[in-house]
A = this chain, B = another copy of it.
Amino acid sequence: MTAQNAFYAQSGGVTAVINASACGVIETARQHPEQIAKVYAGRNGIIGALTEDLIDTSAESDAAIAALRYTPSGAFGSCRYKLKSLEANRREYERLIEVFKAHDIGYFFYNGGGDSADTCHKVSQLSETLGYPVQAIHIPKTVDNDLPITDNCPGFGSVAKYIATSALEASFDVRSMAKTSTKVFVLEVMGRHAGWIAAAGGLIEDQGMPVLILFPEVDFDQARFIAAVKDKVERHGFCTVVVSEGAKYADGRFLAEQGTRDAFGHAQLGGAAPVVANLVKEALGYKFHWAVADYLQRAARHLASKTDVEQAYAMGRAGVEFALAGHNAVMPTIKRLSNDPYAWEVGEAPLAEVANVEKFMPRDFIAADGFGITPACKEYLLPLIQGEDYPPFEHGLPNYVTLRNVAVERKLAPFAL
């Protein structure tokens, strides 16, 4: 058997550790030159494959590839580009296979969330049909932690650690100011329709901090929320609120969509945090501050979870090992073996069961009043934020790597997206 090339692409929103998975893929592939010749990466994700804009990772030094382990973001570029269904756009899938064939690519590693698992699955199926079989392996990644089967998703643990640490630090701050100044601090976090990231804010309760969480999974009830804030402030002197960007009213309206208009009549500028802070101010008169962490949370490699980094790397490595062992249309998963001490191993899931399934917070992870997390949830979350894995710093700032990203010569005619 002659060695074939591999293709690796990053998909969707990037994370603090998706490059650690890339590092796992490339370092493991380099250990098997008899089976994998070169790893090509898609420039800006799957768009790079469609437009035949491939990056030759063999042009990067071992040191540069090793530095991916501690560099946030997507080193080859990512994209938000969902391939349509096979019926709607068969031409794009055929183009992928054409590009793979032209560059002797026999392995497809797609690093993303639910959508990319679906694409990966279809590529595997279609490549058989078209007579150029490609082994397609999906590598899990999402800060939202919403993929099924795997116990957790690489990327999530680091965001959870960042949000819990930030909420803790801000709570210390507010506690010391509450006598005459800010009594309520509102922190808006990511997570789309799933409350996993918001749940991480609940971890500071065990450090004595009063915290209320607004989950996307729990319909927002303004009166009950205001009563809960009042109770926390009266008992503790202050309160921290962690609100998910996806928090919404029973009728489906997001908290962030208040129909706000600026002086020019433009639609509102966004942000659930200022909305929540203002509701508190209107109802209770408490002085507030609010923060929107946005990209800071998912890019914060300086505060990554060591567990998360290790798992992200392991998923990349396992993806390559599965491919070398002849597996196809699968995704490596994280299987939890025990909580305390935390133990996990690599598992495997068929893509047919992963694609397009979203995993939400189980109801028994959310406290009865809807504003907190249960001991079962803490037991789940705590292992995922364990350990620090600081990047090297130079001149006071993290010394992250920017790759050369040398292009592979094109062989095909251009393709219009």
Contacts and interface: CB of A to CB of B under 8 A. Distances in A.
B278 A266 contact: yes
Given A79-B179, A177-B78, A260 B263 contact: yes
Q: How many monomers of this chain does the complex have?
A: 2
Interface in A346-384: 382
A244 interface: no
Interface string A262-294: 110010111101110110001000000111111
Given A295-B173, A396-B305, A263 B259 contact: yes
A161 B75 CA distance: 23
Contacts of A170: 294-296, 299
A168 interface: yes
Contacts of A397: 161, 164-165, 168, 203-204, 207, 385
A172 B296 contact: no
Nearest to A204: B397
Contact of A269 (B74, B173, B278, B300): B278
Contacts of A273: 292
Contacts of A164: 396-397
A82 B348 CA distance: 63
B270 A274 contact: yes
Contacts of A385: 396-397
Contacts of A382: 395-396
A398 B207 CA distance: 10
A364 to B, nearest CB: 22
A176 interface: yes
A382 B394 CA distance: 11
B263 A269 contact: no
Nearest to A174: B295
A258 B268 contact: no
Interface in A1-51: 10, 13-14, 16, 44-45, 47
A294 B289 contact: yes
A290 B292 contact: yes
Contact of A14 (B177, B260, B274): B177
Nearest to A173: B299
Interface in A93-121: none
Contact of A299 (B169, B181, B266, B303): B169
A-B pairs with lowest CB-CB distance, top 10:
A269-B274, A385-B396, A74-B176, A73-B172, A291-B294, A259-B263, A169-B299, A44-B179, A173-B299, A79-B180
